[in-house]
């Protein structure tokens, strides 16, 4: 809910045209839509954006086309070498949405920067960070006005300004997107030339050092309760940032106020980064504080008052630098030292000699009985099993490398269980301190064995240096089966928060939410099906997906098909690119009657398709990794075609499709099983 003062400011913002002698420098890509669209154009394949006859905004309206259509607005070519900020003023009426993308020159995909779908009766402000780059690009706005007639999405103004979106001197009416968290009794107000009469104890602006400038302030004049709190929050960054946050503040403590600065992530978690330790009255004081965050964040200025005579706090001239304030601040620690896929060795994981080598590195050739590794389906993984040791039972501990304290980590790994009668103590994860003492048991197996690779995500944070320890216990030979471990990764931050704010990068699809814009070919014989769990027919298809083991994948169901019938799944239309591109995917071809899986390149304007990759017949019970390297300088689509074999045991599945810029590096390091036209490669152990 917006406070009345913020609504008033937004109203003034629209009326007064945002033209001020103190306005920030506007960069290319900015537009007020007064007389024209400043080089922004509608994509002719979609609903048209229409400039208001009286100027001032551009709109995508469902009344101008079919309901439910989208409208795409494309900027002119931009080349911004320094970090910049897009301030967007927009409005959504009805059930529509608006998304912003960046389109790098010579690449197939658009990278999503921001999205909104909340309707409003007012103009809203969004602030979006643009990373500095040496490549040319375009900004893309995609509006979906909604299903009902007369619903619209409008853009009033686009400002591209130098610097970070958290920076502000409060000289513009839009306040750089900073928002006051509404409290009936205490709120942040604009100070300076707009100060209410009788507030003579408030300071002059810091930016201009006179009463004509502006700043933000809060006082407790209307405070009625103990610990009344006012919050001023910056726009949420759209990418991770680290560096030095600077601002000026002035504080009259009077009979009591508490001033603090926090960061807040997308999950709503607060972390205090600064509070004053010296009381400085009636002067502007400079504060510099380092920020290190592996995820998007907002900066929150919070003041709490104990009474109506609690003085005031004012802030001004917030700035940010990518260089840390203090030379003693350490750069981001890279936790990837704890990553391991066990393809070559144990990496930095180890076992104590006194405990024996319970965990063994093994590999399984493609076969129809035992699942191979998670990384490629034919590589290496770790296995703890009494059959590989001489003792009747075991306690197997796998120790990871030490990681610094105070940081929050996200641990991800995959495990698989086979043949266990009891799952108690089968596999657990502990956090050990530097004295090799267990601090906490953070996870243990709770599911029954499925035979599939299951993903686990654990977020943890400790004040001291720690290491992760995987523990498998078997008390009696006859109760034990196989415990497998693979693809351990550690990253900074909470597992639920993504570094770029969005769960799925462009060009990547794991089919967990939907089919990512893939479409069925209307001219084929059957369709690909989005499925979770095992396929209906026994002895064919995967037991679970590749992404998490309990998620979704795409497959062809052979039962209703006739031998030779096909099903074709088409990607979105992809733009041509300047250099090579690598297609990575996982496929499952398990079943005695398995047919054919092919990948084609379908170029725009050409009838014939180019065969890029093919496999024929049963390949493995495991998910296998496939790689395709190709070039295409025109718009195109990638086609996955499955052909039913000679029996109902012919289900074919795909998952975790990813397009990567550049060549497939793995092709120079791995065997022919990954790519090429050796369609009968099926070195299976039966």
Please provide residue 353's backbone torsions phi and psi, each rounded to the nearest 5 degrees.
-60, -35
Of the ranges 14-18, 195-199, 659-663, the best mean pLDDT one: 659-663
pLDDT at 248: 95
Are 316 and 247 spatial neighbours (Cβ–Cβ below 8 Å)?
yes
Whole-number pLDDT of residue 120 = 87
pLDDT at 5: 40
The pLDDT assigned to 685 comes to 42
Hey, which bits of 174-297 come out as E strands?
179-181, 188-192, 214-218, 228-233, 242-252, 257-264, 270-274, 285-292
**What is the pLDDT of the chain when averaged over all its residues?**
86
Nearest to 192 by CA among 175, 177, 171: 171
Host H or E run for residue 638: strand 636-643
The token pair at 343 is 């393809």
- Name 32's Cβ contacts closer than 8 Å, sequence gap at least 6: 17, 18, 38, 56, 157
Task: Evaluate whether 184 touches 228 at the Cβ level (below 8 Å).
Answer: no
Give the angle 438-444-445 at the CA atoms, nearest 5°: 155
With 80 as the cut, is the pLDDT of residue 502 above it? no
Let me know how long the chain is.
686
Give me the residue label for tokens 């070559």: 344
Phi-psi region of 207 (alpha: psi -120 to 50; beta: other; left: phi over 0): alpha
Q: Which of 401-410, 489-498, 538-547 has the lowest mean pLDDT?
A: 489-498
Task: Specify whether the CB–CB gap between 395 and 358 falls below 8 A.
Answer: yes
Grouping H, G, I as helix, E, B as strand and the rest as coil, residue 373 is coil
Q: How confident is the model at residue 14 (pLDDT cuts 50, 70, 90)?
A: very low
**DSSP H or E run through 89:** strand 84-93
- pLDDT tens for 391-425 read 667 788 999 999 999 899 999 999 998 876 667 77
Residues above pLDDT 90, as percent of the chain: 59
d(CA 310, CA 219): 7
Other beta carbons within 10 angstroms of residue 80's beta carbon come to: 18
pLDDT digits (tens, 9 = 90+) for 191-245: 876 554 555 577 777 877 766 789 999 988 877 777 789 999 999 998 888 999 9
Compute the average pLDDT of residues 494-516.
81
Task: With CA atoms as reference, report the closest residue to 342 among 309, 375, 306, 308.
Answer: 375
Q: Are 319 and 246 in contact (CB under 8 A)?
A: yes
Asked if residue 190 lies in contact with residue 228, where contact means CB atoms within 8 angstroms, the answer is no
Whole-number pLDDT of residue 207: 77
Please, which residues bridge with residue 640 across strands?
569, 599
Closest Cα to residue 302, out of 277, 271, 329? 271
Q: CA 380 to CA 600: how far, in whole Å?
A: 30
Residue 296 to residue 493: CA distance in whole angstroms: 10
**Up-side HSE of residue 577: CA atoms within 13 Å toward CB?**
22
What tokens appear for 358 in the block? 């319970």
Residue in the structure block whose two tokens are 């927009």: 90
β-bridge mates for residue 615, sequence order: 597
The pLDDT confidence band at residue 35, using thresholds 50, 70 and 90, is confident
Q: Tell me the backbone φ, ψ of residue 336, rounded to 5 degrees.
A: -65, -10
Q: Which two tokens stand for residue 588?
A: 């499952």
Report pLDDT digits (tens) over 135-182: 899 999 999 987 777 789 999 999 999 999 999 999 888 889 999 988
Q: Which two tokens stand for residue 9?
A: 């400011």
pLDDT digits (tens, 9 = 90+) for 357-374: 889 999 999 988 888 999
CA distances to 340, 365, 519, 583, 670 from 667, in Å? 20, 19, 29, 11, 6
Q: Which of 94-108, 268-282, 596-610 has the highest mean pLDDT?
A: 596-610
Handedness of CA 190, 195, 196, 202 (dihedral sign): positive
Q: How far apart are CA 380 and CA 367, in angstroms?
A: 14
Quote the tokens at residue 79: 């080349």
Stronger pLDDT, 443 or 671, i.e. the higher one: 443
Reference 430, options 384, 396, 454, 481; nearest CA is 396
pLDDT band, very low/low/confident/very high, at 389 (cuts 50, 70, 90): low
pLDDT at 499: 62
Straight-line distance from the first to the last Cα atom of the chain, in angstroms, rounded to the nearest whole number: 65
Question: How many other C-beta atoms are found inside a 10 Å radius of the C-beta of residue 378?
Answer: 22
CB-side neighbour CA atoms (13 Å) of 571: 26
Is residue 439 within 8 Å of 507, Cβ to Cβ?
no
Strand order in the sheet with 482-492: 359-363, 380-384, 482-492, 408-418, 454-461
User: What average pLDDT does the segment 600-621 reach?
Assistant: 95
Q: Is the pLDDT of residue 579 over 80?
A: yes
CA 595 – CA 412 distance, rounded (Å): 35
Least confident segment among 65-69, 265-269, 321-325: 65-69
Q: With 80 as the cut, is the pLDDT of residue 458 above it?
A: yes
pLDDT exceeds 50 at position 271: yes
How many Cα atoms sit within 13 Å of 633 on the Cβ side? 2
Beta-strand relationship, 137-144 and 71-74: antiparallel
User: What pLDDT sits at residue 208?
Assistant: 74
Reduce the DSSP state of residue 479 to 3 states and report it. helix
* pLDDT tens track for 73-90: 999 999 888 899 999 999
Indicate the pTM of the whole model: 0.86
Quick one: tokens of 107? 């690449």
Query: In this structure, are residues 378 and 674 in contact, taking their beta carbons and an 8 Å threshold?
Result: no
Q: How many helices (H) and strands (E) does the chain have?
A: 1, 40
| 71 strand-pairing partners | 47, 143
Percent of the chain, pLDDT > 70? 88
Average pLDDT over residues 320-339: 89
């Amino acid at each position: 809910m917006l406070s009345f003062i913020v609504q008033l400011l937004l109203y003034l913002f629209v009326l007064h045209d945002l033209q001020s002698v103190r306005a920030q420098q506007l960069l290319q890509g900015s537009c007020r839509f007064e007389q024209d669209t400043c080089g922004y154009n509608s994509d002719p394949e979609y609903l048209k954006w229409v400039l208001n006859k009286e100027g001032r905004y551009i709109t995508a309206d469902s009344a101008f086309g079919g309901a439910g259509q989208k409208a795409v607005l494309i900027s002119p070519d931009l080349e911004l070498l320094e970090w910049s900020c897009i301030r967007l003023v927009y409005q959504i009426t009805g059930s529509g949405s608006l998304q912003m993308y960046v389109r790098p020159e010579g690449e197939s995909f658009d990278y999503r920067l921001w999205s909104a779908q909340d309707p409003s009766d007012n103009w809203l402000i969004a602030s979006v960070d643009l990373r500095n780059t040496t490549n040319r690009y375009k900004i893309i706005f995609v509006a979906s006005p909604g299903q009902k007639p007369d619903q619209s999405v409008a853009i009033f103004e686009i400002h591209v300004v130098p610097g970070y979106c958290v920076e502000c001197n409060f000289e513009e009416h839009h306040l750089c997107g900073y928002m006051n968290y509404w409290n009936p009794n205490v709120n942040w107000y604009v100070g300076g030339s707009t100060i209410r009469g009788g507030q003579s104890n408030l300071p002059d602006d810091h930016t201009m050092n006179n009463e004509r400038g502006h700043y933000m302030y809060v006082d407790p004049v209307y405070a009625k309760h103990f610990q009344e709190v006012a919050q001023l929050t910056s726009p949420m960054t759209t990418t991770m940032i680290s560096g030095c946050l600077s601002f000026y503040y002035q504080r009259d403590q009077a009979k009591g106020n508490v001033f603090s600065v926090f960061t807040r992530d997308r999950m709503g978690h607060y972390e205090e980064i600064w509070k004053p330790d010296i009381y400085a009255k009636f002067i502007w004081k400079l504060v510099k504080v380092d920020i290190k965050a592996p995820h998007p964040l907002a900066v929150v200025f919070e003041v709490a008052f104990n009474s109506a005579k609690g003085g005031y706090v004012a802030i001004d001239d917030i700035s940010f630098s990518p260089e840390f304030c203090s030379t003693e601040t350490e750069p981001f620690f890279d936790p990837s030292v704890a990553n391991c896929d066990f393809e070559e060795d144990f990496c930095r994981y180890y076992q104590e000699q006194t405990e024996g080598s319970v965990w063994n590195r093994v590999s399984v050739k493609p076969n129809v009985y035992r699942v191979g590794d998670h990384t490629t389906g034919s590589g290496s993984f770790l296995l703890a099993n009494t059959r590989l040791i001489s003792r009747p039972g075991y306690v197997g501990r796998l120790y990871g490398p030490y990681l610094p304290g105070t940081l929050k980590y996200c641990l991800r790994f995959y495990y698989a269980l086979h043949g266990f009668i009891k799952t108690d103590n089968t596999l657990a994860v502990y956090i050990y301190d530097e004295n090799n003492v267990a601090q906490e048991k953070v996870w243990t197996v709770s599911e029954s064995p499925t035979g599939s690779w299951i993903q686990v995500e654990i977020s943890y944070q400790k004040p001291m240096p720690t290491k992760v320890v995987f523990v498998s216990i078997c008390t009696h030979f006859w109760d034990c089966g196989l415990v497998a471990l693979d693809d351990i990764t550690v990253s900074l931050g909470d597992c639920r928060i993504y570094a770029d704010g969005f769960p799925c990068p462009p060009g990547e699809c794991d089919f967990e939410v939907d089919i990512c814009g893939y479409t069925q070919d209307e001219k084929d014989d059957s369709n690909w099906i989005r499925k979770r769990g095992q396929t209906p027919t026994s002895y064919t298809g995967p037991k679970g997906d590749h992404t998490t083991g309990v998620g979704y994948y795409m497959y062809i169901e052979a039962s209703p098909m006739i031998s030779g019938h096909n099903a074709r799944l088409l990607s979105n239309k992809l733009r041509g690119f300047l250099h090579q591109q690598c297609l990575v995917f996982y496929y499952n071809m398990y079943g005695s009657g398995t047919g054919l899986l092919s990948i084609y390149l379908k170029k725009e304007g050409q009838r014939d398709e180019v065969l890029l990759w093919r496999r024929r017949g049963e390949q493995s019970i495991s998910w296998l990794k496939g790689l395709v390297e190709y070039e295409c300088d025109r718009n195109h689509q990638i086609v996955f075609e499955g052909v039913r074999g000679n029996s109902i045991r012919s289900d074919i599945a795909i998952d975790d499709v990813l397009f990567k810029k550049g060549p497939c590096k793995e092709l120079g390091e791995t065997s022919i099983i990954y790519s090429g036209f050796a369609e009968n490669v099926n070195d299976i152990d039966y």
